[in-house]
Amino acid sequence: MASQEEAAIEALERALSPSSLSALTKLLSILERADRLGLLDAIDHLLDPEVVRGLAETALTTGLIVSATSLDRLASLLASLSKHADALEKLLSALDRLEASGLLDTLMHLLEPETLGEAAKAFMSPGAVYLLNEAPRMLDEVAAGLAAAQEQARGARVGIIDITNALLRDEDVRRGLYLFLLVLKNLGGGLKK
């Protein structure tokens, strides 16, 4: 018991020392200002058990706890954004260039439901389905034809008679030219619409 009394007397002596008195004076001044402003009464009211229980109920029913989990999700999202910052900067730069060129508005128009519906109808037409099915084979044939034509045309002199003979005598030339003319006809017809 004597040691407790000695500790109390020692603490009181420290509190009454000149350096501690200065700090205590400042603390008392702060407390007096807080009391004049009504802050001490507000803190006393907040510490009332009924108020604490009401605040806890409000926090649980208004989604404050849910907001805390949203903060975790937000932190995770921010971490992911910082991880991919370079890629996002490139993407934003590309979007700026698309915006400046006017292509972004065009792309947004293409993504509207009406436009997508029209595109789906066009792609579901028999001609489009045929073209999609046959495109790889046609591209292979075009590539082979270009390679063969390039080889044959290397160093050869071709005149109007050679072209006329090819058109009149070669079935493959006529078929290819006819296909080309049909494509041009359908493109022109589509421009009327």
Q: What is the mean pLDDT of each run of 10 residues along the chain (193 residues)?
A: 78 74 74 77 75 73 62 77 81 85 84 80 73 82 84 78 85 87 84 74
**What tokens does 29 get?**
């001044």
Per-residue model confidence (pLDDT) at position 130: 76
Per-residue model confidence (pLDDT) at position 111: 80
Per-residue model confidence (pLDDT) at position 165: 85
CA dist 189 → 3, 19, 119, 184, 186 (Å): 108, 98, 18, 9, 5
Per-residue model confidence (pLDDT) at position 63: 62
| Alpha-carbon span 150 to 110, nearest angstrom | 39
Per-residue model confidence (pLDDT) at position 64: 56
Place of tokens 């510490």: 47
